[in-house]
């Protein structure tokens, strides 16, 4: 053998010897050759049960995916438990998922106060607390909570978009704010005040909060009207957003009404409130709205509608939350694909925190997901839109 060939042969033999090590499968809890087990909590009962369609949509997406062979040959087993939007129950159900069901990750659990209740526990256990269905700046805190990441935009991103637009078009606006009396609503209020800066004290003339167990918010809306405000920000969950829209209309108050994104669903908010009572509402979005005619011939919208018809026929095709459930399920699938056969909890987080220009079909054009080990924000842009009585229309 020549001197030249000898080192080449040695290198080839070494590569062959190392091949099994490189091809080895690394599995964390809940993973086998045929399955990846993930868990979540959802409010299938209780005061915000309208949100439960998220869990049903996600389950429907994974059903379709599993029929197609799963992810890298493994089917996704989603264990979705009811917590009734009660933080104490969320803790109980999450402990069951981690300690009894042995899930690889807790995926898309719903709610700001409920996720707050389990954040420290999951981080202490080093369990991925991934793509939360919750809005909050607190979910982007890698130094303290390196296992927690949301998919939704945070309150500041959304509130700032509304505040900047308002100050441009109505610089002398007098603002009233209705907000949910928990971390969800308070973070929206803080985001608005931060966006307004020094102008906040003079611009915000009225504030009122509600509890998720309140039967109505009539007294709050009446009090906010009496503040003399000509602009109303409603930072509410779907049920109370609908109540706000309806009561504002019924008492003859006609402020410029800006609603938080969870209050923009045509199916679960505007239709119950009354479409005629919702005309002129302003809201933000990062997803294509199924009621918007501009997407009628969009291939992604057609695919979503076909999926809804086949896998979630009882779901409402005018409900924005079903678009979100479909999209967040796709985000998880992308992460799992990137993990390959290295399906450990550490690998899940490594992939989730290194997303580069991820484009999912139902994201609005131009919106891409980028994350890093030092910045867990996923959605960093929103688009403002106005409701014309039939659908949402791009504002400008």
pLDDT tens for residues 341-368?
999 999 999 999 999 999 999 999 999 9
Residue 246 in contact with residue 270, Cβ under 8 Å?
no
Q: Domain containing 373 — which CATH number?
A: 3.40.50.2300
Structure confidence at residue 381 (pLDDT):
86
Residue 383 in contact with residue 286, Cβ under 8 Å?
yes
Average pLDDT over residues 263-285: 93
Query: Would you say residue 182 lies in a domain?
Result: yes
Average pLDDT over residues 368-382: 93
Structure confidence at residue 7 (pLDDT):
42
Residue 177 in contact with residue 146, Cβ under 8 Å?
no
Average pLDDT over residues 95-114: 96
> To 10 degrees, the CA torsion angle through 195, 197, 201, 202?
-90
Average pLDDT over residues 245-273: 94
Q: Region of 146 please: left (phi>0), alpha (psi -120 to 50) or beta.
A: alpha
Average pLDDT over residues 303-331: 96
Residue 127 shares a structural domain with residue 229: no
Structure confidence at residue 143 (pLDDT):
97
Residue 189 shares a structural domain with residue 149: no
Structure confidence at residue 48 (pLDDT):
87
Residue 97 shares a structural domain with residue 113: yes
Q: How many domains does the chain have?
A: 2
- pLDDT(277) > 60: yes
Residue 392: helix, strand or coil by DSSP?
strand
Distance in angstroms (rounded) separating the CA atoms of residues 394 and 396: 6
- pLDDT(175) > 70: yes
- pLDDT(284) > 60: yes
Structure confidence at residue 286 (pLDDT):
92
- pLDDT(14) > 50: no
Say which range, 4-8, 49-53, 62-66, 72-76, has the weakest mean pLDDT: 4-8
Residue 264 shares a structural domain with residue 172: yes
Residue 242 shares a structural domain with residue 314: no
Domain end residue (candidates: 240, 262, 285): 285
Query: Would you say residue 17 lies in a domain?
Result: no
Residue 58 in contact with residue 151, Cβ under 8 Å?
no
What is the separation, in whole angstroms, between the first and last Cα of the chain? 74
Query: What are the tens digits of pLDDT across the range 189-226?
Result: 999 999 999 999 999 999 999 998 999 999 999 999 99
User: Structural domain of residue 113, as residue ranges?
Assistant: 35-153+299-381
Domain end residue (candidates: 285, 320, 339): 285
Structure confidence at residue 166 (pLDDT):
95
Structure confidence at residue 11 (pLDDT):
43
Question: What percent of the chain shows pLDDT beyond 70?
Answer: 94
Run of H or E including 18? helix 5-23
Query: Would you say residue 24 lies in a domain?
Result: no
Query: What are the tens digits of pLDDT across the range 30-65?
Result: 999 999 999 999 999 998 898 899 999 999 999 999
Residue 326 in contact with residue 151, Cβ under 8 Å?
no
Assessment of whether the complete model's pTM goes beyond 0.85: no
Query: Would you say residue 171 lies in a domain?
Result: yes
Residue 182 shares a structural domain with residue 215: yes
Structure confidence at residue 396 (pLDDT):
67
Residue 149 shares a structural domain with residue 197: no
Distance in angstroms (rounded) separating the CA atoms of residues 331 and 62: 12
- pLDDT(111) > 70: yes
Q: How would residue 10 be classed by pLDDT, with cut points 50, 70 and 90?
A: very low
Query: Would you say residue 314 lies in a domain?
Result: yes
- pLDDT(310) > 70: yes
Q: Please give the DSSP secondary-structure letter assigned to residue 364.
A: P
Count Cα atoms within 13 angstroms, Cβ side, for 392. Answer: 31
CA proximity to 285, closest of 392, 150, 133: 392
Residue 57 shares a structural domain with residue 124: yes
Query: Would you say residue 391 lies in a domain?
Result: no
Structure confidence at residue 3 (pLDDT):
43
Residue 206 shares a structural domain with residue 226: yes
Query: What are the tens digits of pLDDT across the range 139-162?
Result: 999 999 999 999 988 888 889 899
Tokens 């005629």: give the residue: 276
Task: Name, in order, each residue with C-beta under 8 angstroms of 210's C-beta and a sequence gap of 6 or more.
Answer: 178, 179, 180, 181, 217, 220, 236, 240
* Backbone angles phi and psi of 231, in degrees to 5: -135, 135
Q: How would residue 135 be classed by pLDDT, with cut points 50, 70 and 90?
A: confident
What average pLDDT is seen over the chain? Answer: 92
- pLDDT(6) > 60: no
Query: Would you say residue 12 lies in a domain?
Result: no
Domain end residue (candidates: 261, 285, 309): 285
Residue 191 shares a structural domain with residue 101: no
Run of H or E including 58? helix 53-67
Structure confidence at residue 272 (pLDDT):
94
- pLDDT(253) > 80: yes
Residue 200 shares a structural domain with residue 230: yes
Residue 106 in contact with residue 97, Cβ under 8 Å?
yes
Query: Would you say residue 319 lies in a domain?
Result: yes
Structure confidence at residue 157 (pLDDT):
86
Residue 147 shares a structural domain with residue 160: no
The b/e string for 327-347 (b: 16+ C-beta within 10 A; e otherwise) is: bbbbbbbbbbebbeebbbbeb
> Both tokens of residue 83?
């917590």
Task: Name, in order, each residue with C-beta under 8 angstroms of 170's C-beta and a sequence gap of 6 or more.
Answer: 230, 231, 256
Residue 109 in contact with residue 69, Cβ under 8 Å?
no
Distance in angstroms (rounded) separating the CA atoms of residues 137 and 87: 19
């Amino acid at each position: 053998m020549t001197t030249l060939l000898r080192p080449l042969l040695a290198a080839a033999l070494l590569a062959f010897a190392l091949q099994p090590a490189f091809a080895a499968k690394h599995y964390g809890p809940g993973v086998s050759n045929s399955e990846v087990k993930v868990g979540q909590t959802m409010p299938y009962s209780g005061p915000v049960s309208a949100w439960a369609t998220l869990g049903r949509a996600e389950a429907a997406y994974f059903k379709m995916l599993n029929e197609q062979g799963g992810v890298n040959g493994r089917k996704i087993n989603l264990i979705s438990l009811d917590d009734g939007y009660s933080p104490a129950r969320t803790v109980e159900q999450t402990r069951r998922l981690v300690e009894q069901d042995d899930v690889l990750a807790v995926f898309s659990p719903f709610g700001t106060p409920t996720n707050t209740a389990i954040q420290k526990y999951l981080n202490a256990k080093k369990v991925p607390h991934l793509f939360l269905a919750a809005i909050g700046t607190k979910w982007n805190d890698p130094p303290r909570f390196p296992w927690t990441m949301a998919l939704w935009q945070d309150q500041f991103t959304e509130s700032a978009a509304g505040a900047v637009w308002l100050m441009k078009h109505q610089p002398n606006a007098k603002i009233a704010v209705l907000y949910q009396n928990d971390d969800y609503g308070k973070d929206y209020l803080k985001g608005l005040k931060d966006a307004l800066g020094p102008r906040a004290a003079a611009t915000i003339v009225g504030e009122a909060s509600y509890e998720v167990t309140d039967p109505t918010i009539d007294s709050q809306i009446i009090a906010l009207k009496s503040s003399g405000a000509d602009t109303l920000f409603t930072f509410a969950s779907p049920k109370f957003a609908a109540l706000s829209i309806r009561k504002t209309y019924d008492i003859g108050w006609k402020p410029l009404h800006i609603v938080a994104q969870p209050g923009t669903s045509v199916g679960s908010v505007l239709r119950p409130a009354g479409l005629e009572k919702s005309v002129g509402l302003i809201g933000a979005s990062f997803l294509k709205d199924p009621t918007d005619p501009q997407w009628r011939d969009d291939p992604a919208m057609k695919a979503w509608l076909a999926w809804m018809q086949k896998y979630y026929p009882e779901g409402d095709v005018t409900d924005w939350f079903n678009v979100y459930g479909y999209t967040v399920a796709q985000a998880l699938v992308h992460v799992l694909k990137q993990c390959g056969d290295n399906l450990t909890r550490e690998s899940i987080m490594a992939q989730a925190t290194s997303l580069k220009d991820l484009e999912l079909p139902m994201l609005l054009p131009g919106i891409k997901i980028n994350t890093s080990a030092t910045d867990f924000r996923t959605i960093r842009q929103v688009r403002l839109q106005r409701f014309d009585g039939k659908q949402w229309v791009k504002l400008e």
